[in-house]
Amino acid sequence: MSPERLGCGWLWRLIMAVLLRVSLGHAAPPSPTDGTDCSARGPASYILVFTGLWSPQTFPKQYPMFRPPAQWSKLIAVTHNSRFQLWREGAAAGGGVQSFAELGLTVEVVKEAKEARKRRAVGAMYRTAGIPNGISHSSTELLMQPRTPLLSLMVKVIPSPDWFVGVDSFSLCEGGQWKQEVTLDLQPFDAGTDSGFTFSSPNYPTVPVENVTRITSQMPHHPANSFFYPRLKELPPIATVKAIRQDRSSARQVPMSNHILPNSISPQRFSETPLDCEVALWSSWGLCLGSCSRGGVRHRSRYILLRPANAGTPCPELEEQAECTHHNCLRRQ
Ligand SMILES: *[C@@H]1O[C@H](CO)[C@@H](O)[C@H](O)[C@H]1NC(C)=O
């Protein structure tokens, strides 16, 4: 039965609105829903697996091969509530985030998290070893407490000026239940403290410091940027994290070998990103070869700035010749 058909839809809606407000008023939790309240009855144990997807197929532009090759720093994870923030898009990076994003140092971050633990804003901290290439795993166990159900983490992109991937305040608790399994795709962020443009840019502090921003295929909008892929609407994920809940009470549980999940790198994740050839501007025309008045030619050339990859547009001609024109022929004295 549609209340509209009764011709008093407005009255019906008013009644429903009042009823809804009344029932919500009674059902709402006593404290604000800031993502901090988790009514799960006990802690939950998780395996956290970080997987790098930074391959030369997916990110062909300036892929770091040597000195240093592409790799990931150690992962730092913090469990906390809404009174702590490890990093946030659009906010200024703190000292800890800066030294981690620029240098991969965890000392400051750990110090800040320890301070926050005294205020009961942080539950625990976890670290994994670094990964010596772009496409492997690292993992750690997490113990989540209902008081601190949020997870934040960071991994530095190496080499890079101040780029990292991470998770900001993701709640593993939902509706009074711990989530069973979560997979999050990660994108690169710029900590805003170093102005380098490419993976191997030298250290060049940004003054004044900018806030943390997401790096996309279009931003920063400059052809020299390592992640600038004008053909892509979005960058493919450069890494993922997966949190899998462990049933601690079960004795039958099969221990995961080294926490590595057999299916966490599926081949289709390595999409091939086409990279178009880029060439420099033409040089100026050379001198005329041959007779200036008849049949003489002159040349100009250009060079490759970026080699194409994965079926990107091939490079155009690198050399061009044209007939000499009279007015730019050298006059015989
Ligand atoms: C940068 O972050 C700070 C807080 O950390 C904020 O007050 C400020 O408005 C932000 N600036 C911009 C341009 O977003």
208 and 305 co-located in one domain: no
b/e per residue 188-223 (b: at least 16 CB within 10 A):
bbbbbbbebbbbebeeeeeeeeeebeebbbeeeeee
* Domain CATH code at residue 308: 2.20.100
Residue 117 burial class via C-beta count within 10 angstroms: exposed 0-12, middle 13-18, buried 19 and up: middle
Is a pLDDT exceeding 90 seen at residue 262? no
* Number of separate domains in the chain: 2
* Domain CATH code at residue 101: 2.60.40.2130
Is a pLDDT exceeding 90 seen at residue 261? no
94 touches ligand 1 (CB under 6 Å)? no
104 and 232 co-located in one domain: yes
Q: What is the mean pLDDT of residues 128-152?
A: 94
**pLDDT for res 17:** 53
State how far the alpha carbon of 105 is from the alpha carbons of 109, 111, 211, 225, in Å: 8, 11, 19, 25
15 touches ligand 1 (CB under 6 Å)? no
Task: Tell me if residue 309 falls in helix, strand or coil.
Answer: strand
b/e per residue 118-153 (b: at least 16 CB within 10 A):
eeebbbebbebeebeebbebbbbebebbbebbbbbb
Nearest CA residue ID for atom 10, ligand 1? 91
Locate all alpha helices (DSSP H) within the chain, ordered by sequence: 9-27, 95-103, 107-118
208 and 65 co-located in one domain: yes
Range of weakest confidence among 78-87, 149-158, 197-206, 288-297 = 288-297
Report whether 214 contacts 89 (CB < 8 A).
yes
pLDDT band at 306 (very low <50, low <70, confident <90, very high): confident
210 and 292 co-located in one domain: no
230 and 102 co-located in one domain: yes
Is a pLDDT exceeding 50 seen at residue 4? no
| Domain span including residue 192 | 44-269
Is a pLDDT exceeding 70 seen at residue 263? no
Q: What is the pLDDT of residues 67-118, one digit of tens each?
A: 899 999 999 999 999 999 999 999 999 999 999 999 999 999 999 999 999 9
127 and 172 co-located in one domain: yes
How close is the Cα of 189 to the center of ligand 1, in Å?
16
**pLDDT for res 36:** 61
* 20 found inside a domain: no
* 128 found inside a domain: yes
Q: What is the mean pLDDT of residues 257-284?
A: 71
pLDDT band at 23 (very low <50, low <70, confident <90, very high): very low
Q: What is the pLDDT of residues 209-236, one digit of tens each?
A: 899 999 999 988 888 899 999 889 999 9
Q: Which amino acid does the sequence have at 291?
A: S
* 241 found inside a domain: yes
Q: What is the pLDDT of residues 24-78, one digit of tens each?
A: 444 434 444 444 679 999 999 999 999 999 999 999 999 998 889 999 999 999 9
pLDDT band at 252 (very low <50, low <70, confident <90, very high): very low
Most informative mutation of 87, 211, 212, 213 for ligand 1 (most atoms within 8 A of CB): 211
Q: What is the pLDDT of residues 164-209, one digit of tens each?
A: 999 999 999 998 899 999 999 999 999 998 888 899 887 778 888 8
The ligand 1 atom nearest the CA atom of 211: 1
172 and 312 co-located in one domain: no
C-alpha dihedral over 35, 41, 45, 46, to 10 degrees?
-40
236 and 292 co-located in one domain: no
Is a pLDDT exceeding 70 seen at residue 2? no
d(CA 31, CA 38): 11
216 and 111 co-located in one domain: yes
264 and 289 co-located in one domain: no
Is a pLDDT exceeding 60 seen at residue 12? no
Beta bridge partners of 301: 319
pLDDT band at 238 (very low <50, low <70, confident <90, very high): very high
Of these ranges, 14-18, 121-125, 276-280, 302-306, the one predicted with the greatest mean pLDDT is 121-125
How close is the Cα of 220 to the center of ligand 1, in Å?
18
287 and 198 co-located in one domain: no
Mean predicted lDDT score pLDDT of the chain: 83
The beta strand positions in the chain, using DSSP E, are 44-52, 71-80, 122-127, 137-144, 150-158, 163-171, 173-174, 177-178, 181-186, 189-190, 213-214, 239-246, 278-279, 297-301, 304-306, 319-323
Given 251, 269, 287, the domain boundary residue is 269
Total-model pTM: 0.76
Instruction: Quote the distance between the C-alpha of residue 323 and its chain's center.
Output: 52
* 3 found inside a domain: no
